[in-house]
Amino acid sequence: MTRTATVALAVMMTGGAFKVSAGPPFVTDDPEPVDYQHWEFYIASMHTQTADGWSGTAPHIEINYGPVTNVQLHLIAPLAYDAPSDGNAHYGYGDTELGVKLRFIQETDRMPQAGIFPLLEVPTGRESEGLGNGHWQAFMPLWLQKSFGDWTVYGGGGYGINPGAGNENWGLVGAVVQRQVTKNVALGGEIYHRTTMETGGRGDTAFNLGTVVDFTEHQHLLFSAGRSIDGPTDFQVYIAYQLTFGPEFFHSAGHWFGNH
C-alpha cells in the first residue's frame, strides 16, 4: 500500500487493492532519481473516499536513496486503514513497497530524460481486514520529463501485475504540468487514467492539483487533492513532510557529536 508516494498521491481502492506509487504529491511519477549518495525521507498520509468507504495510510514512511549515479532505491512502510461504509474499520501495517528507479536517458535541449521505475508490493498487510492484497504484485512503468524554464512536464505509463481471485492486470497512463511560481513554491496539476483492477470493476480517469513548498533547502511540504472525472473516486488527498539530505549531513552530524 502506498504512495510517492508519491506523492507518494495513490490510486486507492477499498478492500486491499494495489496502491499505485507516485512522484509525490502526484500519482504520475517522473524519471529523475535521487542524486548520488543523497536521501529523501517522507512522513506522509493519504486518504481516498469512494462509494464503498474510506481507505488510506496514517501515516506511511517513504525512504529513497541514490547508491550510484542515475539509480534510486525505494521503500515505503505504511500504517494503513480500511473503513468500509457497510462494515467494521481496521487499522494496521499494510503492504510494503520496494522499487528501483533507473534513468537511462539524460535530458538535453531537445531530448527529454527517461527512466524506468519497477515496483514490487510485498503482501505484509492482512488481506482479511482490507489492509493488504494478499499476493505479490508488480508495476512496471516508463517515465519521461522535459523542462522549459519555470515549467516542467512529465508523465508516461506502465503495466500492473495483479494476481488473485477476482483481480485483473491493469494499465496506467498519466501526465503532470508543473510550474515554479516563486523561488520556494511550485504548483502543478495532473490527469491520469487507470484501467480496471478487478473483474467487473471500473476504470478511473481522475485529476489532482498539488503544490510543493520549500521551507528550507532540506525541508519541504507536499500536498495534493483531487477526484475522478469518470470513475469511483469521490475524493483523494495526500500530504507529506519531506526531508532531503546528502553525505554532508552525516559529516556535519559526526563533527557536532565529536565536539560535544
What CATH number is attached to the domain comprising 54?
2.40.128.130
State the average pLDDT over residues 178-184: 96
Burial of 63 (0-12, 13-18, 19+ CB in 10 A): middle
As given in the structure block, the three cell numbers for residue 69 are: 549515479
Average per-residue pLDDT in the chain?
Answer: 89
Amino acid present at 82: D
State the average pLDDT over residues 204-209: 97
How many of the other CB atoms lie within 10 Å of CB of 26? Answer: 32
Beta partners for residue 127, in sequence order: none
Percent over 70 (pLDDT), the chain: 87
Separation CA 72–CA 103 (nearest Å): 9
- Answer yes or no: is pLDDT of 156 > 50: yes
Beta partners for residue 73, in sequence order: 65, 100
- What does pTM read for this prediction? 0.88
Residue 73, in any domain of the structure: yes
Top-confidence residue, 249 or 210: 210
- Answer yes or no: is pLDDT of 20 > 90: no
Residue 82, in any domain of the structure: yes
User: CA-based angle 254:257:260, to the nearest 5?
Assistant: 150
Which strand (E) or helix (H) includes residue 150? none
State the average pLDDT over residues 141-159: 97
Top-confidence residue, 165 or 143: 143
As given in the structure block, the three cell numbers for residue 235 are: 475524493
- Answer yes or no: is pLDDT of 14 > 80: no
Residue 173, in any domain of the structure: yes
Residue 93, in any domain of the structure: yes
* Upstream peptide bond of 141 is cis (omega within 30 degrees of 0): no
- Answer yes or no: is pLDDT of 258 > 90: no
Residues 10 and 22 sit within 8 Å (Cβ to Cβ): yes
pLDDT at 11: 41
pLDDT at 248: 78
Residue 198, in any domain of the structure: yes
State phi, psi for 20 to the nearest 5 degrees. -80, 120
Separation CA 158–CA 30 (nearest Å): 12
12-16, 20-24, 98-102, 143-147: least confident range: 12-16
pLDDT at 4: 35
Separation CA 18–CA 132 (nearest Å): 8
Residue 30, in any domain of the structure: no
- CA–CA distance from 155 to each of 117, 128, 130, 249 (Å)? 12, 34, 30, 32
pLDDT at 23: 73
Separation CA 205–CA 192 (nearest Å): 6
Domain span at residue 160?
39-258
State the average pLDDT over residues 164-179: 96
Residue 28, in any domain of the structure: no
Residue 149, in any domain of the structure: yes
State the average pLDDT over residues 76-104: 96
Percent over 90 (pLDDT), the chain: 84
State the average pLDDT over residues 101-109: 97
* pLDDT digit string, tens, across residues 25-80: 999 999 999 999 999 999 999 999 999 999 999 999 999 999 999 999 999 999 99
Total number of domains constituting the chain: 1
- The beta-strand segments (E) located in the chain are 39-50, 53-65, 71-84, 90-93, 96-105, 113-116, 119-122, 137-148, 151-161, 170-180, 185-194, 204-214, 219-230, 235-245
